[in-house]
Amino acid sequence: MAWVVLFVSAAFETVWATALGESDGFTRPGPTLVFAVTIALSLGAFGYVLKHIPISTAYAVWTGTGAALTVLWGMATGAEPVTVLRLVFIAGIVGCVVGLKLVPARPVRPAGPTAGTGAPDATAPTPRRGSQTDPVR
């Protein structure tokens, strides 16, 4: 469900970015209102997403999807030229977004402690400086 909300949030990003451009520096009330409402919806949805998807992945997908949709909208409305290179680069953004969706969000942890190998246990907390377990003071 979080991934669906992430893509909806990116669609709202496209709307607020377009409305921001149309607001003429916040002097046109209609686009300014659309901007204010959709940025609140976009960021609110993105906040929900961050409870379920790591920020590094979520932010890259959110901005990449929003950017690609914004350029596509500009092309569809005639505000931006349609060129082969633009379409290739948008396909690259979409490919990267799909790639981030397909790779695991969190690294796979080892099954148990690495006792006997000389390597530290990856699951053990790191002692804080100045604590009793810190040999360097």
Residues 59 and 105 sit within 8 Å (Cβ to Cβ): no
- The per-residue pLDDT for 109 is 66
- The per-residue pLDDT for 47 is 96
pTM exceeds cut of 0.95: no
- The per-residue pLDDT for 137 is 46
User: Which regions of 10-88 does DSSP assign to beta strands (E)?
Assistant: none
- The per-residue pLDDT for 122 is 55
- The per-residue pLDDT for 101 is 81
- Positive/negative CA dihedral, 23, 27, 32, 36: positive
H-type helices in the chain, by residue range? 2-22, 29-49, 55-77, 84-102
- The per-residue pLDDT for 135 is 53
Angle, vertex CA 50, rays to CA 109 and CA 17, nearest 5: 135
Contacts of 5 (CB under 8 A, 6+ apart): 45, 48, 49
Q: What is the pLDDT along the chain (137 residues), one digit of tens a residue?
A: 999 999 999 999 999 999 999 999 999 999 999 999 999 999 999 999 999 999 988 999 999 999 999 999 999 999 999 999 999 999 999 899 888 888 876 665 666 665 555 555 555 555 555 555 545 54
- The per-residue pLDDT for 97 is 86
- The per-residue pLDDT for 42 is 97
